[in-house]
Amino acid sequence: MIPNPDPTQETLVLNMGPQHPSTHGVLRIVLKMDGEYVLEAEPILGYGHRMHEKMGEVRNHKGFYANVGRMDYGGALSFGHGHVLGVERLSSIEVPERAEYIRVLTTELNRVASHLLWFGAYLLDLGAFTPILYAFDDREFILDLLEHLTGARITFSYFRIGGVCCDVDDKFLDGAKIFVKRMRERLPMYHKLVTGNIIFRKRAEDVGIVTRDMALKYGATGPVIRGCGIDYDIRKTEPYSVYPDFDFDIPTDDKGDCMSRYKVRMEEIEQSLRIIEQAIEKLPEGPVMGEKVPKKIKSSGDCYMAVEAARGELGYYLACDGTDTPYRMKIRSPSYSNLSLLKELTSGILLSDLVSVMGSLDLVIPEIDR
Amino acid sequence: MVEQLAQQFRALDGAEVELTDPKATASHLDVLVPAAKLRELTQIVRDAEFLIESVSAVDATPQMMTIYHFSHPDRFCRVTARVLIDRESPSCPTIQDIFPGANWHERETDDFFGIDFEGHPDKTPLILPEDAGNLNPLLKEGKRLKELGAVFPRFATPEPEAEPEKPATEPESEG
């Protein structure tokens, strides 16, 4: 597993992580170095693996609610969304429209929070301390809103099969409106502070270029694939939930470098704000929980359910045998595939650029180590 | 596009191609392919510029199944490929040289199910510790192990009533 350095060549094996700050969790990368240049970067996974797939097989559909929030601490609601939609697809359960709107509204708020977390952490990796303070200030606003609604700040288990567990109130909706307005005022400041900064540009431009072919063969999704010019977003490509009701764009960028991924994510914040705005405006009246949801949800057959999480395509593959417990649950998490291209992407680059590349991939380790 | 792919898949010896409703299963084509033809199928999918989504497996009796998902980046089109493999000595050809993204997925599936992906360059455990041995946490035993037909209706035996030991749906306790 650890590359064996040839003693005749001047290579150095360097262990990055599992407690390195720029790995954002317990990820270890074994680096084979030639001076400051990376010859080979081999990620080593599994330090925080909890086997959510096995847990999914030994507890019933409803028992899995608590697990969905513990895979992705950045955008936990997307993981809940994929799970409930998958079970609903297999069991043909109808969801009230209001519940779907609330799901989209909260998921998009969560996506903005996730991108703000990435923004702060990425810049912190590159040595800029100030942006994370601003980003966390805005993120705190979202977390307070979601805490008011769901009772949780990070590990949400708010979605239920057939709806959501509680209705939104005026305090939440007003807060969300205030947030959209506030965030629109803050975004230009973020761009002024960071986007044009010459030090940041030198660290991000032309670094870690992902090509279209590379994204396809590794299965990279989310801002990574959109950063190389492919408008692959499950919300548009394979519309689910009530996303077809909203008017929003899929931002892309052609270059495929760290800067492209940065630009795509920053633009996605604005697009999420548009969705939030429209969801509040169009929010239909009615119940938030389906009436005919059985106590024991028995399903059979198998299906795949893909949703667009903050970091890319999240897929649940469910195979059921007629009981209320999945026979097999496979979770295809976005960061897992996004990280798998690291070895090819970083061969021959500077160690400092490796930190920039990893930051731009927006890794969430508990989601890789499911 | 779906029709064209279906035609190419049908040309593979022993492949069973099913057109499925994407609204119900999220996939347009469901292909059961013999292990020997998996790499050819993968090459077709790669040439059509699909991206790899996942590789996983399901443990059942009498055979296990590996499942591959591919999706097209420009338009909604998903291909599900299935390979039935022997449960006693599970092995399946690797596709990691065609889709390098399958490398980790296959290693992970090897960890969890003990499936040998023939031709895979790195068979060390990815997720499990090196001393885990044959832990294979997702293999099923006893009454948890179901027949393939109970999970996937297309593999159900034609006369299920004739079998006295057909596993009944066991009651599960509320979690």
Least CB-CB distance to B25: which of A304, A323, A328? A304
The angle at the Cα of B10, spanning B6 to B16, to the nearest 5 degrees, equals 95
DSSP annotation string for A61-107: GGGGHHHHTTT-SSSHHHHHHHHHHHHHHHHT----HHHHHHHHHHH
Element (H, E) at A188: helix A170-190
Least CB-CB distance to B101: which of A62, A218, A304? A218
Tokens of A25: 């969790």
The angle at the Cα of A353, spanning A352 to A354, to the nearest 5 degrees, equals 90
Helix ranges (DSSP H) in A227-333: 234-237, 258-282
Sign of CA dihedral A82, A83, A84, A86: positive
Contact state of A53 with B175 under an 8 Å Cβ cutoff: no
Residues of B (25-54) whose Cβ lies below 8 Å from A: 25-27, 46, 49-54
| pLDDT score of B175 | 44
A256 in helix, strand or coil? coil
Cβ-based neighbours of A342, under 8 Å, separated by 6 or more: A29, A41, A43, A357, A358, A361
* Contact residues, chain B, for A216 at CB < 8 Å: 49-52, 73
> In a 10 Å sphere around its CB, with 0-12 CB exposed, 13-18 middle and 19+ buried, how is residue A63 labelled?
middle
What's the distance, CA B83 to chain centroid?
5
Pick A332 or A35 by higher pLDDT.
A332
| pLDDT score of A4 | 54
**Beta pairing, strands B116-118 & B91-93:** parallel
Contact state of A216 with B130 under an 8 Å Cβ cutoff: no
Residue B14 corresponds to which amino acid?
G
* Contact residues, chain B, for A210 at CB < 8 Å: none
ipTM for this prediction: 0.87
Average pLDDT over residues A266-295: 90
Pick B172 or B74 by higher pLDDT.
B74
Residues of B (133-152) whose Cβ lies below 8 Å from A: 137-138, 146, 150-152
Quickly state the pLDDT bin for B129 (edges 50, 70, 90): confident
Cβ-based neighbours of B107, under 8 Å, separated by 6 or more: B117, B120, B122, B123, B124, B125, B126, B127
Tokens of A41: 């970067």
Query: What DSSP character marks residue A350?
Result: B
Check residue B47 and give left, alpha or beta (phi > 0: left; psi -120 to 50: alpha): alpha
Average pLDDT over residues A210-229: 91
Other beta carbons less than 10 A from residue A250's beta carbon = 17
For every residue of chain B, which 3-state class applies, written as one string? CHHHHHHHHHCCCCCEEEECCHHHHCCCEEEECCHHHHHHHHHHHHHCCCEEEEEEEECCECEEEEEEEEECCCCCCEEEEEEEEECCCCEEECCCCCCCCHHHHHHHHHHHHCCEEECCCCCCCCCCCHHHCCCCCCCCCHHHCCEHHHHCHHHCCCCHHHCCCCCCCCCCCCC
Average pLDDT over residues A244-273: 91
Instruction: Output b/e per residue, A286-305; b: 16+ Cβ within 10 A.
Output: eebbbeebeeebbbbbbbbb
Examine the pLDDT at B166 and tell me if it is beyond 70.
no
Average pLDDT over residues A66-78: 88
Average pLDDT over residues A154-159: 89
pLDDT digits (tens, 9 = 90+) for B108-127: 999 899 898 988 888 888 88
Query: What DSSP character marks residue A14?
Result: E
Lowest mean pLDDT among A111-125, A257-271, A331-345, B21-35: B21-35
The CA distance from A119 to B78, in Å, is 32
How distant is the Cα of B137 from the closest Cα of chain A, in angstroms? 7
Residue B48 corresponds to which amino acid?
A
| pLDDT score of A75 | 87
Contact state of B53 with A219 under an 8 Å Cβ cutoff: yes
What does the longest C-alpha to C-alpha distance in chain A come to? 73
pLDDT digits (tens, 9 = 90+) for A166-216: 889 999 999 999 999 999 999 999 999 899 889 999 999 888 899 999 999
Residues of A (287-306) whose Cβ lies below 8 Å from B: 296, 298, 300-306
The CA distance from B26 to A59, in Å, is 24
Query: What's the mean pLDDT when you consider all of chain B?
Result: 84
* Contact residues, chain B, for A300 at CB < 8 Å: 151, 153
How distant is the Cα of A334 from the closest Cα of chain B, in angstroms? 9
pLDDT digits (tens, 9 = 90+) for A38-57: 888 989 888 888 889 999 88
Number of A to B CB contacts under 8 A, please give it. Answer: 144
The backbone torsions φ and ψ at residue A307, rounded to the nearest 5 degrees and listed phi first, read -130, 160
| pLDDT score of B170 | 54
Residues of B (48-87) whose Cβ lies below 8 Å from A: 49-54, 56, 58-59, 67, 69, 71, 73-76, 78, 80
C-alpha closest to that of A25 among A67, A85, A70: A70
Tokens of A36: 């400051």
What is the chain B residue with the closest CA to A327? B151
Contact state of A337 with B52 under an 8 Å Cβ cutoff: yes
Give percent of chain B above pLDDT 90: 25
Average pLDDT over residues A104-129: 92
**Beta pairing, strands A312-321 & A37-44:** unpaired
What does the longest C-alpha to C-alpha distance in chain B come to? 49
The CA distance from B143 to B11, in Å, is 39
The CA distance from B52 to B45, in Å, is 9
Cβ-based neighbours of B103, under 8 Å, separated by 6 or more: A340, B96, B120, B122
Examine the pLDDT at B69 and tell me if it is beyond 50.
yes
Q: Are A31 and A24 in contact (CB under 8 A)?
A: no
Place of tokens 């591959």: B68
**Beta pairing, strands B51-58 & B63-71:** antiparallel
| pLDDT score of B66 | 92
How distant is the Cα of A231 from the closest Cα of chain B, in angstroms? 7
Examine the pLDDT at A1 and tell me if it is beyond 50.
no
pLDDT digits (tens, 9 = 90+) for A232-241: 999 988 888 8
Give percent of chain A above pLDDT 90: 46
A309 in helix, strand or coil? strand
Q: Does B169 touch chain A (CB under 8 A)?
A: yes
Q: Does A327 touch chain B (CB under 8 A)?
A: yes
Contact state of A300 with B153 under an 8 Å Cβ cutoff: yes
Average pLDDT over residues B71-98: 90
Quickly state the pLDDT bin for B148 (edges 50, 70, 90): confident
CA atoms within a 13 Å half-sphere pointing along the CA-CB vector of A302: 25
